[in-house]
């Protein structure tokens, strides 16, 4: 069965950096795109970034130039390098697998909490 397990969250000071990881299993990793979606405490879902099956990358305007998405297909692992962190980046970060349809996400990880605070 599909599993997505995030790690790397924690508390970081404003301006600091953090790298999130997402270990994937149960599907052919290189055949699917993977998203990062975040949810600030008590707020709705916010899409952050997407790496398509062919390696093309997309970013939300709010993180462009600060966050970098990457993947290691030999390790079935997705990464999100987050630099110049701000208080408004505080959220639970989910990695989520692109579905077989158009524009859908069919599996989500359990999320990892990132807190940006001094």
Partner 1 sequence: QSVLTQPPSVSATPGQKVTISCSGSTSNIGNNYVSWYQQLPGTAPKLLIYDNNKRPSGIPDRFSGSKSGTSATLGIIGLQTGDEADYYCGTWDSSLSAGMVFGGGTKLTVL
CB of 88 to partner 1, least distance (A): 14
Nearest CA to 98 out of 11, 28, 5 is that of 28
Task: Among 1, 54, 65, 101, indicate the residue that binds partner 1 (CB under 8 A).
Answer: 101
Among 1, 31, 74, 103, binds partner 1 (CB under 8 A): 103
Site for partner 1 in 30-49 (CB under 8 A): 35, 37, 44-47
| Per CB under 8 A, 50 contacts partner 1 | yes
Which of 18, 82, 105, 114 is in the footprint of partner 1 by CB under 8 A? Answer: 105
CA dist 36 and 109 (Å) reads 10
Is residue 98 within 8 A of residue 32, CB to CB? The reply is: yes
> For the residues of 51-82, what is the DSSP string, one character each?
E-TTS-EEE-TTTTTTEEEEEETTTTEEEEEE
Exposed/middle/buried for residue 46 (C-beta within 10 Å: 0-12, 13-18, 19+): middle
Binding mask 59-98 for partner 1 (x = CB under 8 A): xxx--------------------------------x-x--
Question: Under the rule (CB under 8 A), what is the footprint of partner 1?
Answer: 35, 37, 44-47, 50, 58-61, 94, 96, 99, 101-111
């Amino acid at each position: 069965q599909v599993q997505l397990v995030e790690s790397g969250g924690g508390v970081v000071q404003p301006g600091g950096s953090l790298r999130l990881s997402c270990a994937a299993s149960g599907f052919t990793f290189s055949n699917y795109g993977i998203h990062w979606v975040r949810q600030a405490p008590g707020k709705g879902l916010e899409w952050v970034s997407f790496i398509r099956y062919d390696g093309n990358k997309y970013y939300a305007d709010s993180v462009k130039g600060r966050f970098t998405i990457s993947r290691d297909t030999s390790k079935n692992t997705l990464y999100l390098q987050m630099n110049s962190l701000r208080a408004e980046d505080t959220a639970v970060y989910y990695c989520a697998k692109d579905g077989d349809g158009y524009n859908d996400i069919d599996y989500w990880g359990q999320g990892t909490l990132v807190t940006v605070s001094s």
